[in-house]
Amino acid sequence: MPALSTTPSKILVTGANGYIGLWTVKSLLERGFSVRAVVRSESKSEVLQSIFPKFVGNGKLEFAFIGDLTKESAFDEAVKGVEGILHLASPLPSASPDPQETVRPAVEGTIGILKSALHHGSSIQRIVITSSIASQITPSTEARTYTEADWNERVEQDVKSGNPFFIYRASKTLAERAAWDFYTNNKSLIAWDLATINPSFVYGPPLEPSISTPSGLGGTQNIWWNTVINATPEKTKEALGVQGGSAWVDVRDVAEAHVRALEREEAGGERITASSESYIWQEWLDLVNRLAPKSIRPSLPQGYPDLTSSGKVAYLVSFDNGKSERVLGLKYRTKEETLRDVLEDAERRGWWKNEESSEHHGKL
**Where do the DSSP E strands lie in 187-226?**
193-199, 201-203
What is the model's pTM? Answer: 0.94
Indicate if the pLDDT at residue 352 is higher than 90.
no
2 within domain boundaries: no
User: Is 177 in the same domain as 94?
Assistant: yes
Domain containing 266: what range?
Answer: 10-203+249-275
48 within domain boundaries: yes
* Count of the separate structural domains present in the chain: 2
4 within domain boundaries: no
User: Is 134 in the same domain as 87?
Assistant: yes
User: Is 212 in the same domain as 196?
Assistant: no
Give the distance between the most distant pair of CA atoms in the chain: 63
DSSP SS3 for 22: helix
Cβ neighbours around 76 below 10 Å, total: 16
Which contacts of 157-163 are long-range, i.e. CB under 8 A and separated by 24 or more positions? 159/99, 159/103, 160/99, 162/97, 162/99
Question: pLDDT-based confidence at 1, cuts 50/70/90?
Answer: low
CB 10 within 8 A of CB 36: yes
d(CA 110, CA 156): 20
User: Is 282 in the same domain as 314?
Assistant: yes
Phi and psi angles of residue 11, each rounded to the nearest 5 degrees, phi first: -115, 130
User: CA dihedral defined by 152, 269, 74, 79, rounded to 10 degrees?
Assistant: 160
5 within domain boundaries: no
Beta strands 277-279 and 246-250 are antiparallel
31 within domain boundaries: yes
What mean pLDDT comes out for the span 288-316? 94
Q: Which of 259, 275, 291 is at the close of a domain?
A: 275
CB within 8 A of 310, min separation 6: which ones?
none
1 within domain boundaries: no
Question: pLDDT-based confidence at 139, cuts 50/70/90?
Answer: confident
361 within domain boundaries: yes
The pLDDT score that the predictor gives to residue 362 is: 34
User: Is 328 in the same domain as 193?
Assistant: no
User: Is 170 in the same domain as 284?
Assistant: no
Position with higher pLDDT, 230 vs 255 = 255
pLDDT in tens, 87-108: 999 998 988 889 999 999 999 9
Instruction: Report the CATH number at residue 260.
Output: 3.40.50.720
Indicate if the pLDDT at residue 266 is higher than 50.
yes
CB 279 within 8 A of CB 336: no
- Reference 173, options 144, 133, 219, 140; nearest CA is 133
CB 200 within 8 A of CB 319: yes
pLDDT in tens, 18-57: 999 999 999 999 999 999 999 999 999 999 999 999 999 9
What mean pLDDT comes out for the span 338-352? 95
